Amino acid sequence: MTATDLPVTAGRKLPFVQAVPEAIAQCMRDDADVFLAGEDVAVYGSVFGTTRGLLDEFGPSRVLDTPISEIAIIGLATGAAAVGLRPVVDLMFMDFIGCAMDQLMNQLAKMKYMFGGKARLPVTVMTAAGAGTNLAAQHSQSLEAMVCHIPGLKVVMPSNAYDAKGLLTASIRDDDPVIFIVNKFLLGATSDVPVEPYEVPLGLAAVVRPGTDVTVVAHGRMVGEALAAAEALASDGISLEVVDPRTLQPFDLPTVLASVAKTHRALVVQESVRYAGIGAEYAAQIAEEGFDELDAPVARLGAPFSPVPFSPVLEQAYVPDAARIAAEARVLMGT
């Protein structure tokens, strides 16, 4: 069953932080090969609470606390998947993904290719990214561009609790490695979330707000900021269409191009550092494939080329917000 087939359960609001363990639990009940491992995922329920309650239901043979070794966690997942299991592993902060990069980049992402398609690697790697919670430079980065650059990995980044449950379910059921990134700032945000299991298909973007003047492509936390910018600009007669890729790799370019064909202007927004970010790739694809539809160059908005500041005032200035999105849209409109 997919999200498009399933009506949202009326009145059932669920925060992002509860939608994630619900998806894992439903997949574990459905498939005995699914297990969970990572730092503090069992007894503590993860540092963010995204695996809370799973140990009580499934026990220590399927919910495992691991040593503090990211490279070992990805190695465990790769080996377990290669022999028929379906691991879900948690790397806690995305900043620590560098510790696991050899296993992630050279083993997990490459094994299917190097074995001529005979190896099946159904691994879901969960991790948390994003600034805005005053956790300083080593615990606040958004490194989605880094993993999107590695062939063999799919990369997912939901912007709301409904998509989080559906995308995580689809990720766990997928037969290829998926990096599932949650934004720490969104963990308390609530959405209508069905009780029943459902999937949001990987590789399919969502037009979360229709508009006529500027296409804003935004992911993760920036979707909410783009929606706020759209609301603010509406009173001035500027209409933003907001597109959430949901799956960052593979990127749903046709949905974005269909939007640009209507608006003739595009703004790509990311929380991560603007330089060499995933938004640069999206902007290039829009310019290459949708050039004839554009009335202005594709604009990009991202964080400055700097580590994330610890100071709350500086961090607030660092992260793009609705006001800056609105200002960029005004420039595109020539107002």
Tens-place pLDDT, residues 92-141 = 999 999 999 999 999 999 999 999 999 999 999 999 999 999 999 999 99
18-29 pLDDT, tens digit per residue, is 999 999 999 999
Assess whether 31 and 168 both reside in one domain.
yes
Assess whether 180 and 224 both reside in one domain.
no
pLDDT score for 10: 53
| CATH assignment of the domain containing 240 | 3.40.50.920
Assess whether 255 and 309 both reside in one domain.
yes
pLDDT score for 7: 46
- 70 is annotated as an active-site residue: yes
Please provide the size of the chain in residues: 335
pLDDT score for 256: 98
* Candidates 39, 139, 225, 241; catalytic one: 139
166-221 pLDDT, tens digit per residue, is 999 999 999 999 999 999 999 999 999 999 999 999 999 999 999 999 999 999 99
Confidence of residue 277 (pLDDT cuts 50, 70, 90): very high
Assess whether 175 and 215 both reside in one domain.
no
Assess whether 77 and 124 both reside in one domain.
yes
Assess whether 159 and 250 both reside in one domain.
no
Is 199 inside a domain boundary?
no
* Candidates 70, 241, 293, 315; catalytic one: 70
Assess whether 151 and 227 both reside in one domain.
no
Instruction: Tell how many helices (H) and how many strands (E) occur in the chain.
Output: 12, 14
9-63 pLDDT, tens digit per residue, is 556 899 999 999 999 999 999 999 999 999 999 999 999 999 999 999 999 999 9
234-263 pLDDT, tens digit per residue, is 999 999 999 999 999 999 999 999 999 999
Q: Do residues 159 and 152 lie in contact, with contact meaning Cβ atoms separated by under 8 Å?
A: no
Is 270 inside a domain boundary?
yes
Q: Share the mean pLDDT of the chain.
A: 95
Domain count, the chain: 2
Structural domain ending residue among the three candidates 169, 192, 215: 192
pTM to 2 decimals? Answer: 0.95
Assess whether 303 and 328 both reside in one domain.
yes
Assess whether 112 and 255 both reside in one domain.
no
pLDDT score for 11: 62
Is 197 inside a domain boundary?
no
Res. 8: pLDDT tops 50: no
> What's the token pair of residue 74?
């990805």
CA-closest candidate to residue 180, choices 278, 244, 253, 246: 246
CA-closest candidate to residue 196, choices 165, 168, 175, 150: 165
Is 254 inside a domain boundary?
yes
Assess whether 58 and 178 both reside in one domain.
yes
Assess whether 89 and 24 both reside in one domain.
yes
Res. 4: pLDDT tops 50: no
Assess whether 23 and 129 both reside in one domain.
yes
Q: Which residues contact 202 (CB under 8 A, 6 or more apart)?
A: 154, 156, 167, 170, 171, 174, 178, 247, 250
Task: Name the residue range of residue 61's domain.
Answer: 13-192
pLDDT score for 335: 85
